[in-house]
Amino acid sequence: MARTHRHTPLLLGLGLLLALATGAAAAPADGGLLLVTPLLGWSSAGAWFAGDRTPEVRAVAQTTTDLASALGGLIAGALRPAGAAAAASPLLDASALADAPPEVALVLLGSRLRTSDLRRKHAAALQPLLEAAPSSVALPHVVHPVEGAPAREALLDALRAQLPAGAKLQTAGCGEGLALGEIAQLLLDGAPVTAEAPRLLVGCTDAAGGLEAELRQVAAAHGSVAALGKRQVTLYGVDPHAGEGGGGGGGAAAAEQRRRLLQAGGVTGGPYSVCDERCRTQVKWLEGMLALLLIIVATLSGLCCLSVLDTPTRFESPKDASRAD
């Protein structure tokens, strides 16, 4: 008579649980997540950016950097005092800057553009500006922590620290003073703008609109300043946290992006372990489905084993045993 194995389903269930636990222990720990945005720059008069010497100078820097360092180096190099030995950034052409130094540096800070938008060609509105410029530069890998506060005030402080003597920083659309659409008015007020006394204009876009609205604001601000005929360098950077907590859904958009990054994973750069309410709900549903799947597999495996073993439906009685003897 075949021997019964009623512990088989239990052993199979324990084996599956051990396999799942081993896989979870071997999985890598979640790394910190980073937002990646581009930094774009273009000139209106001179070939100030170092790059391939084609009819137009185009440079693409694949290094990873932060926004404050990248902007600070470019501004320090573009507005450096006359007679300086070299530009502060390797992305700048020192000889071209010495021949025709810029009179205006325009820094535009947005919040919507991401590096992935460049690959998807969502930034087509900027293409005419870059193609018409004598030289341009692109830094596609400017990183920001997923969790962070708006960095505009810190950026302004960093830019002020890089200004040479005689240069002046003015803002528009950054919470005080003129709106972004009136940024050209800053050049018409006060002392004349010259290479010896350059101006640094910082404009902040409105986070209430989407990406297309932001790019239109950037193009309009650049055009209004370029219409004054000054030698100008324009830098467009992105502070992805600038729209958080404000109107127009900026905070909701940032929270949605954080949730997607948490689900995607695979981008490392520091400790990060935040999961919002929607993320926790999805995790609970996933845990429940995995537990249900484990129970179903264990039950079916046990039934199959019992069927193969042909387990008897009753135990032998003493009478049957004596007859067998």
Q: What are the residue ranges spanned by the domains of the chain?
A: 34-264, 277-311
pLDDT beyond 50 at 295: yes
221-253 residue pLDDT tens: 999 999 998 889 999 999 888 765 544 444 555
CA atoms of 288 and 47, how far apart (whole Å): 61
Lowest-pLDDT range, 20-24, 48-52, 80-84, 288-292?
20-24
Which is higher by pLDDT, 28 or 134? 134
Tell me what pLDDT residue 318 has.
73
19-71 residue pLDDT tens: 444 444 333 333 346 778 999 999 887 777 775 555 556 777 777 788 888 88
Lowest-pLDDT range, 163-167, 220-224, 298-302, 318-322?
318-322
Which is higher by pLDDT, 277 or 106? 106
- Full-model pTM: 0.66
Provide the residue count of the chain: 325
Determine contact, residues 238/37, Cβ cutoff 8 Å: yes
Determine contact, residues 201/103, Cβ cutoff 8 Å: no
Tell me what pLDDT residue 250 has.
46
Determine contact, residues 227/126, Cβ cutoff 8 Å: no
Nearest 10 degrees: Cα torsion 159, 89, 92, 40? -60
CA atoms of 201 and 214, how far apart (whole Å): 17
Pairing of strands 57-60, 199-204: unpaired
- Would you tell me how many other CB atoms lie within 10 Å of the CB of residue 58? 16
Which is higher by pLDDT, 117 or 259? 117
